[in-house]
Structure 1
Amino acid sequence: MKQSIYFLSSATVALATLLTGCSDDATGIQTNEMPEANYIGETTGNFSAEEWYPGGKLGTTENIGSSAYSDQTPVVDENPSLFNAFFAGEQMFERNYTENKAPFKGLGPASVRSSCFDCHPQYGHGKWQAQYRTEYANGNGYLLVIYHPNHEGSNDGPYVSEVTAMPQTQASAPFLPPVNENGINIKWEHVTKMESGLPMHFPDGESFDLIYPEVTIAQSAFNTKPQPTNYDVRLESTIGVIGTGLLDAIPNDSIRAQYAKTAGYFKRAGMNVAEYVNSSFWDASANDFTANAWYKAGDRKFVKRFTYALTRGTLQDGPGANAIWNITNVSRPDRPYLYTTSAWAQAMSENPDVITQIKANPSSPYYADGTDAGIADAVRNLLDPKTNQFDNKWHNFTPDQTTEQFYNFMVWHRGLAIPRARNLNDKEVQRGKKLFMEIGCASCHRPSWKTGNDDYWEPEICAGKPLPRYPHQTIYPYSDMMQHKLYMKNDIHGSWCRTTPLWGRGLSLINTGAEDRLHDCRARNEIEAIMWHAYSKNSHAYSSALKFYNLPKSDRDAIVKFLRSI
């Protein structure tokens, strides 16, 4: 069990800093005339005292090592009941789920992964992969996005209905996975020419390399009836889960003000607001949110703020609360049903090998009366969400995860800290921050927010039990909590993508073993990520990326060092 780094004495921290102070490694730590410990928590250069603590005093861990991403916040440390629940919840995230062994049971009959940890290496961003293989456990954070293009070459359109929105490529015997991974192919291509016309090297001659995935799935790979037609595929990688409780604490009105400010800028400039502020979330004529911008949880509403596509508005019913159910298909009291599709259920009920294997196992829940017809009927109805969720005749699943386990998971999810900033006393890091602001990166990667009262919503399954709270903290996620378009080659589904928070990403290499960035890990470092922003002149960030492109190498390096320090 981890112990809070806050219990270390100041003398220990100072000694550790002195011992590592002369290095310039993946952590970005480097000393000047005095060790970093002399500056922590103090104003230095163009950094305020608060910026040492990106999650505020309530949400930041002093740990900046290889276990920083899994640390609990000081709020958790200070409350024994939260502390115990946090580490119990951590097990729900890290352990592999099985079909029938408690307490981590209930996997399948179809699933995306057998563990949350498989998608989030050390709680961080997923890693670049050459192929879609879920047996490559820790680090393969890729999810498939299979959709119908609205027209040839478009990257939008609805998800195919034959498989789940989180397409499943694993299945428990005797079933076949909805999508056979052997039929999924990822081919990584190199950009040879930027649409914007920029060469693949900086003016000083230093080159850069941009890669992107071409993903295809053979129709024969779909074990569904019918099989989908006219579909396209994109990859999305998981993002880091650190600090998400702090983002949940940002007030709705603060995010509304950010939308209004951004929309107002483009309106005053005489530009098409809908091109720069997603009109499905913001009504420029009314200068307010659309109905789609709100996420309803119980009797309350929250501005959508989680996932690339901004589909969730509160952490307690957000991507983690959803994923602990639909990634593993482990049911719980408020979701005592399966995450499947009718097309998969139909295909499995007609598969003779499936019927034969069940027939040889009278203890199978799908055995029914033991006849081929009876087994097929049980398979079709037990796997079909239309019947296993709503038809009492077939709704006979008992929850796999207990109320207490889910509560512990929510304490863990809301209790994850953000690592302390590093090296803010370094003159080069200070220059990097100055340049970052000057070239306009902060227009989208907004540095700071203020949390509100943090009157969080609690689902009924957690009713009456406290969760970590972060009221009135100044936090530094470096995101405007909005979506923008970069117009990249083989772009993200729907083009619009939330500005990913930058906080803590400088510790990715020592925590996860990789530095991959952007929605599909196409950027293997900060330079590639920035230059993807300049791939097209239509990119919302083209102007800033072009300014970065024209900087001398020393200035580019300073910006990178700044990014690795926050």
Structure 2
Amino acid sequence: MNIIKILAIVAMPLAFTACNDDQTLDLDIDSNKYSNYPEDYFTGGELGTVHQISSSSFEQPAPAVEQQGLSQAFTLGEYFFERPFTENEKPFTGLGPLYIRRSCMHCHIGYGHGKRQLKYDSNTIGNGYILMITDENDIVVQSFGWVAMGQATAPFKPQFDEKKVDIAWNEYTDQWGNQFPDGEKYSLIYPEVTLKPGCIYGKLIDKWGNEVPLSKAKVRLESSIGFIGSGLIDAIPDEDILDQYRSEGKHATLNPQFWDNTAKDFVKNADGTLAVENGGIVYKFDYALDRASVMSDASFWEVQNVTRDDFRSHYIPKEYWQFAAADPDVTSKFYQYYPQWNKTGDPAKDIIAFGNATDLPVEMKESDYVNYMVWHRGVGIPAARNTLTDDFKKGKELFTQIGCASCHRPSWTTGEDKIRDPYGRFSAEDKRMVRYPKQKIWPYSDFVQHRLFMKNDLRTGWCKTAPLWGRGLQNLCAGHSDRLHDCRARNTLEAIMWHGCIGEGGQSDALWAIKNFRNLTKEQRQLVIKFVDSI
């Protein structure tokens, strides 16, 4: 979106209309207009549901944005999501010294999930991959951190050479020979990632300071998730999610990091707080459930290394600076690019001081970040499609009958939606931020982690149940239908069948539901898929 378009949007009234379920709808909240629609048509409730079904469905502001007078802030915030950052072009300055992508759009093509890639190239729009490098025990390599950075601004060098990352897509045959009892066949593929010699800058160092040989390191891909509906998920009361753990923990094995499967109770930290919480807020975002609130978003800092008032340091492991300080290519040019850091005349010492500084100049204005957060929390969720059809109703019934709804819990109700910001930028009643109080929403997730035991699974194997809402529009909005954490599933059927694995260490927690799915007729399986693609 260019600046001319932004100014035009800011100046015009927001009066969007769209067609869905063969009827024309607008954003005016009038329950009489929707009296013949089932409640699950309103995926995000009245305040969060977007009725425009088109290639830009993932980009639309929730009705709450306009109602709460935040349309202009939303539009300006969207600009920061879309626009590439540079080293010195204001207001998009501050890129580097290391970074993952120049813009958020590089990862989140069409505002959605990342796209399956044949090679690792961070300049490709849609490559939402990060390299997850761990030791043999699945512990993240300390010197690379949680997000390995394949790009750098001179004189620094990236943590790895993207051209020396090899991604091979291999065929996988499951225990049923990739065939249903009625003869229908399907295909499954998975990625194998190899780092060629010379790929790593420096060394792989674990948390104890020991070198991890490349031959013993595990390398996996994790792709970007979508932004749609994040603010609505944020508004779900923590106690309701804790109750979901208590309910599932009675009969299922949950991640022992959060749940004591022997005592049937939450794991507690040394200070008595729950391990499933961060700052008193329950984890509910990302595959690894390592983010508790939308307001804990560290975008620009952990992706482009752009500093803000609350992040005035680099999101780069301290080990990297040791490597850089010993690199003559870096030390010989450091003062040329960063003359203000000529503190001692010894570039090696000054590089380490620069890399570990916690008082770096602020590169992104607070007001710009506030607008971005309005956008992040304000992106709506597209309404469900085909809800008035018999196929939708039958598919929904089958979805529940075979067990999918056990983990993909259909609905939740938001609470008062008091803003909770672990960094203290916003108060609970802050009117600068979009809110969604008392909305019945339909994300189709329990926000709990389970294991599928897939071939070359993600780190630890524990993965949050992905919300299904809006996924059926991904091809329309983002140009692909890839699913799962590394985009191995090329369509909905493949995503379903990856839930039925028997792998190293155990069998999928969803195996029983997949056995039920296999026993459906082909027509019934298609009804389930059509339902999933409609919600």
TM-score of the superposition, structure 2-length normalised? 0.89
Cα distance change of structure 1 residues 55 and 6 upon mapping to structure 2, 3 Å threshold: farther
Among residues 161, 184, 189, which one is paired with 2:170 in the alignment? 189
| Aligned twin of 2:364 | 401
Among residues 26, 34, 44, which one is paired with 1:41 in the alignment? 34
Query: Which 10-residue stretch deviates more, 285-294 or 244-253?
Result: 285-294
| 1:366 CA displacement | 4.5
| Aligned twin of 2:209 | none
Query: Which 10-residue stretch deviates more, 346-355 or 432-441?
Result: 346-355
Contact 2:98–2:305 (Cα < 8 Å) also in 1: yes
Letter in 2 for 1:349: A
Q: Secondary structure at the match of 1:323?
A: coil
Q: Secondary structure at the match of 1:533?
A: helix
> Taking every aligned residue pair, what percent have the same amino acid on both sides?
40
Contact 1:403–1:461 (Cα < 8 Å) also in 2: no
Cα distance change of structure 1 residues 209 and 5 upon mapping to structure 2, 3 Å threshold: farther
Contact 2:444–2:468 (Cα < 8 Å) also in 1: yes
**Map of 1:227-242 to 2, 5 A cutoff?**
228-229=212-213, 230-242=216-228
User: Does the alignment pair 1:504 with 2:470?
Assistant: yes
**Map of 1:273-352 to 2, 5 A cutoff?**
273=252, 276-284=253-261, 286-291=263-268, 292-297=274-279, 301-317=280-296, 321-352=297-328
User: Does the alignment pair 1:164 with 2:164?
Assistant: no
Q: Secondary structure at the match of 1:379?
A: helix
Contact 2:334–2:351 (Cα < 8 Å) also in 1: no
**Map of 1:191-230 to 2, 5 A cutoff?**
191=172, 193-194=173-174, 197-218=175-196, 220-225=198-203, 228-229=212-213, 230=216
Contact 1:41–1:50 (Cα < 8 Å) also in 2: no
Q: Secondary structure at the match of 1:331?
A: coil
Among residues 243, 247, 255, which one is paired with 1:257 in the alignment? 243
Cα distance change of structure 1 residues 293 and 42 upon mapping to structure 2, 3 Å threshold: farther
Contact 1:432–1:559 (Cα < 8 Å) also in 2: yes
| Aligned twin of 2:3 | none
Among residues 317, 323, 339, which one is paired with 1:364 in the alignment? 339
Q: Secondary structure at the match of 2:299?
A: helix
Contact 1:280–1:293 (Cα < 8 Å) also in 2: yes
| Aligned twin of 1:31 | none
Show CA shifts across 1:205-234 (max 9, x none): 221110001112235222125664231111
Q: Distance in 1 between matches of 2:338 and 2:201?
A: 25
Q: Distance in 2 between matches of 1:356 and 1:231?
A: 32
Query: Which 10-residue stretch deviates more, 426-435 or 99-108?
Result: 426-435
Query: Which 10-residue stretch deviates more, 113-122 or 282-291?
Result: 282-291
| 1:287 CA displacement | 4.1
Q: Unpaired segments of 5 or more residues in structure 2?
A: 1-5, 25-31, 206-211, 269-273
Letter in 2 for 1:62: H
Q: Secondary structure at the match of 1:293?
A: coil
**Map of 1:133-152 to 2, 5 A cutoff?**
133-136=121-124, 138-150=125-137
Count how many residue pairs are aligned between Structure 1 and Structure 2.
Answer: 502
| Aligned twin of 1:412 | 375
| Aligned twin of 1:375 | 347
Contact 1:517–1:526 (Cα < 8 Å) also in 2: yes
Cα distance change of structure 1 residues 431 and 40 upon mapping to structure 2, 3 Å threshold: farther
Q: Unpaired segments of 5 or more residues in structure 1?
A: 20-38, 151-156, 267-272, 390-394
| 1:445 CA displacement | 0.4
Cα distance change of structure 1 residues 114 and 6 upon mapping to structure 2, 3 Å threshold: closer
Among residues 473, 480, 499, which one is paired with 2:439 in the alignment? 473
| 1:313 CA displacement | 1.2
Cα distance change of structure 1 residues 506 and 178 upon mapping to structure 2, 3 Å threshold: same
| 1:43 CA displacement | 5.0
Letter in 1 for 2:42: Y
Letter in 2 for 1:90: E
Letter in 2 for 1:7: A
User: Does the alignment pair 1:484 with 2:450?
Assistant: yes
Q: Distance in 1 between matches of 2:424 and 2:518?
A: 51
Q: Distance in 2 between matches of 1:443 and 1:214?
A: 31
Letter in 2 for 1:380: I
Contact 2:19–2:51 (Cα < 8 Å) also in 1: no
| 1:381 CA displacement | 2.1
Q: Distance in 2 between matches of 1:305 and 1:491?
A: 20
Contact 1:146–1:231 (Cα < 8 Å) also in 2: yes
CA RMSD of aligned residues (A): 2.3
Among residues 87, 90, 103, which one is paired with 2:75 in the alignment? 87
Contact 1:333–1:461 (Cα < 8 Å) also in 2: no
Contact 2:19–2:52 (Cα < 8 Å) also in 1: no
Letter in 2 for 1:401: M
Query: Which 10-residue stretch deviates more, 531-540 or 278-287?
Result: 278-287
User: Does the alignment pair 1:175 with 2:156?
Assistant: yes
Show CA shifts across 1:411-465 (max 9, x none): 1111110001111112112111111111010000000001111112134334555
Show CA shifts across 1:76-97 (max 9, x none): 01132x2111111111111101
Among residues 534, 540, 544, which one is paired with 2:513 in the alignment? 544
| 1:17 CA displacement | 3.3
Contact 2:16–2:52 (Cα < 8 Å) also in 1: no
Q: Secondary structure at the match of 1:548?
A: helix
Letter in 1 for 2:281: F
Q: Secondary structure at the match of 2:420?
A: coil
| 1:380 CA displacement | 2.5
TM-score of the superposition, structure 1-length normalised? 0.84
User: Does the alignment pair 1:131 with 2:119?
Assistant: yes
Cα distance change of structure 1 residues 145 and 40 upon mapping to structure 2, 3 Å threshold: farther
Q: Distance in 2 between matches of 1:497 and 1:530?
A: 15
Q: Distance in 2 between matches of 1:315 and 1:102?
A: 26
| Aligned twin of 2:28 | none
